[in-house]
Structure 1
Amino acid sequence: MKILLIEDEPELAATIKASLEKELFLVEHAADFDSAMEKVSLYEYDCILLDIMLPGGSGLEILEELKKSNISGNVIIISAKDSLDDKLTGLGLGADDYLTKPFHIAELNARIKAVFRRKNLSGSNQIATANTNLDLSERTFSVDGLLFPLNRKEFDILNYFLVNKNRLITKNALAEHVWGDHIDQADNFDFIYYQIKNLRKKLQSSDAKIEIQSIYGVGYKLVEL
């Protein structure tokens, strides 16, 4: 899962980022209004953690821009302002949850997963497709009830494909989602080809009834067989 953390307090941001990365989330960070606006306009995220009070502007303005641009990001407001008006405004602008500082990282983690389940998986922790099952809580992959090991990147790639089944996934979108926003500094996509090649082998050897198809010159698409 790819998360954007918009938070200007360095120590809190570092704590949140480190804790979420232990949960194997990919976390990008923006410390002010302008850098946050740049990231949300250029990249897609599974979840956005948004502070209201930011250098250069308000988090509520970011929410307004997201709404105007029809950009769907699962937004959780994290704010020291425990104001009913702010909560109602934030939720009215499309935020999915509101968490008041200080909070326990475990609670934030739970709310992130809950928002993702509601938005993408109809409340489930699992993605069942054909004869396969991906368990997001246990980070396991099974075919016909038998477990088959995937490395971290293979799991994240398969997760992204399954959530976007039958949709064209460009190489850029896949790279940004699984490896982060700094992917534009890479010279080529050889590392993606390598991971896709290995994942395909594992799907074939496990007799999974799903397939990652190449769309020549553009990207990939996962389909049921």
Structure 2
Amino acid sequence: MNMKQMEAQIASLTKMVQLQQQRDNTPLGRQIRKQAEIQMNTLKTSLMEKQARKQQLEAMNHRTTFSSERGQTKFVKLYDVVSMYEVSDNGKVTKMKPVTAMTYSAMGDAERKAFDSEFPSISMAIEHGAYNPTMTQSYFDGAVIANGMDSKLFEMGLNRPTVEYEAEYHATPEVSNAYDSFDDYKKGLTREMKEYQHATSTEGKMAIGRELEQLNAEISELETEVGMSASYLDTGIE
């Protein structure tokens, strides 16, 4: 492109900007610009929502494929007995056992520090030789069942909201709202647990993959629209 052609192109672009500015100075132009700004904000909101959903799905996909807690020692209360277990590489409960004076003394420094912080009164009782937990057959049955379970699902089950009497279920929103039905409550299956089970299933992972693929296409399209809208607005008067 020679100098004259460049000058002609610059002059043409300058004229286009001037015409755009003149148009934006009219009532109709200002109305069109306002509508364009509203549309721009709508597009940006939709884009942010889809990006947030994408991040949520990617995090869920990673969490259900790779355990971020693998190798960690966790402490829980199972049938009122403080217990400890390790998280396997694939996120399963392993080596479930009660915390006793013997298992406490066998803990590493980091494990003992975590336990002391989480259960200070029991730690003190162990230190003074006054801790002797009562372990029923129900506890040992529960510990055997827990071994091999998904650690996150296991702890969701332990921490699920409950009522003292089943008759109080419908009158306690913070409990009933956590379940899809009273039948699920009796099964000990919260809505969160069902969603997690679905996400970790083969079918669930395939569904996540399909939704991510669709979201990527929609995000790409929205980013293009936002860019075009921004270019349009940038040609007007600030």
TM above 0.5: no
Q: Which has the larger radius of gyration?
A: 2
More relative contact order in 1 or in 2 (CA 8 Å, sep 6+)? Answer: 2
Larger strand share, 1 or 2: 1
- TM-score bracket, normalised by the shorter chain, equals under 0.3
TM-score, normalised to structure 2's length? 0.24
Question: Which structure has the highest helix share of the two?
Answer: 2
